Chains A and B, each alone.
Chain A
Amino acid sequence: MRLSPVTSQRLAVGFMWLLTGITFAVLVFILAFILVHGLPHVTWTFLTHSPASMGREGGIFPMILGTFLVAGLAVLLAAPIGVATAVYLSEYTREGRLTLVIRFGADCLSGVPSIIFGLFGFVFFAITLGMGLSVLSGSLTLALMVLPTIIRTSEEAIRAVPTSYREVSLGLGGTRWQTVFYVVLRSALPGISTGIVLSLGRSISETAAVMLTAGSALRLPRSLFDSSRTLALHFYLLSREGISMPNAYATASVLIIAILALNLLAYALMRRFAVKVGH
Chain B
Amino acid sequence: MKRDKVIGAILLAVALSAITGLAIITVFIFREGVPIILRVGPRQFFLSTDWDPSLGHFGILSMMVGSLFVTVGAAVIGVVFSLSLAIVLTQFAPPGLSAALKPVIELLAGIPSVVYGFVGVVTLVPLIRQWLGGPGLSVLAASIVLGVMILPTITSIAIDALQAVPKSYLEGSIALGATRWQTVTMVLLRAARSGLVAAIILGMGRAIGETMAVIMVAGNALDVPRSLLAPVRTLTSNIALEMGYASGDHRQALFATGVTLFVIITILNTAALAISRQRAGKRRAT
CB closest chain-B residue, reference A6: B179
Given A27-B108, A85-B15, does the pair A108, B266 have CB atoms closer than 8 Å?
A: yes
Q: How far is the CA of A12 from the CA of B80 in the complex (A)?
A: 12
Residues in A with CB closer than 8 Å to B89 are 20
Q: How far is the CA of A41 from the CA of B34 in the complex (A)?
A: 49
Residues in A with CB closer than 8 Å to B210 are 113
Residues in B with CB closer than 8 Å to A144 are 21-22, 25
B96-121 contact mask (Cβ, 8 Å, vs A): 1 or 0: 00000101111110111111101101
Q: How far is the CA of A232 from the CA of B110 in the complex (A)?
A: 13
Q: How far is the CA of A122 from the CA of B110 in the complex (A)?
A: 26
Q: How far is the CA of A27 from the CA of B269 in the complex (A)?
A: 27
Residues in A with CB closer than 8 Å to B266 are 108, 111
Q: How far is the CA of A177 from the CA of B7 in the complex (A)?
A: 7
* Pair A235/B114 contact, Cβ less than 8 Å: yes
B1-42 contact mask (Cβ, 8 Å, vs A): 1 or 0: 101100110111011011101110110110010000000000
Q: B51 near A: Cβ within 8 Å?
A: no
* Pair B261/A9 contact, Cβ less than 8 Å: no
Number of interface residues of A (CB under 8 A): 77
Q: B161 near A: Cβ within 8 Å?
A: no
Q: Which of A16, A112, A235 contacts B88 (CB 8 A)?
A: A16
* Pair A177/B4 contact, Cβ less than 8 Å: yes
Q: A33 near B: Cβ within 8 Å?
A: yes
Q: A8 near B: Cβ within 8 Å?
A: yes
* Pair B19/A102 contact, Cβ less than 8 Å: yes
In chain A, residues 26-60, which have Cβ atoms closer than 8 Å to a Cβ of chain B? 26-27, 29-31, 33-34
* Pair A9/B112 contact, Cβ less than 8 Å: no
* Pair B84/A19 contact, Cβ less than 8 Å: yes
A70-114 contact mask (Cβ, 8 Å, vs B): 1 or 0: 000000000011101101110010000000001001111101111
Binds B, one of A156-164, A183-191, A255-263: A255-263
* Pair B88/A82 contact, Cβ less than 8 Å: no
Q: A142 near B: Cβ within 8 Å?
A: no
CB closest chain-A residue, reference B148: A26
Q: A5 near B: Cβ within 8 Å?
A: yes
28 sampled A-B residue pairs with Cβ under 8 A: A13-B88, A19-B84, A23-B105, A24-B104, A29-B119, A34-B119, A84-B14, A89-B15, A92-B12, A109-B22, A111-B206, A111-B269, A114-B211, A118-B243, A144-B25, A147-B18, A147-B22, A177-B7, A205-B111, A205-B114, A208-B211, A211-B240, A235-B112, A236-B118, A239-B118, A256-B111, A256-B115, A259-B112
In the complex, the 8 A-B pairs of residues with the closest C-beta atoms, listed nearest first: A113-B209, A205-B112, A9-B181, A16-B84, A88-B15, A19-B84, A85-B15, A88-B11
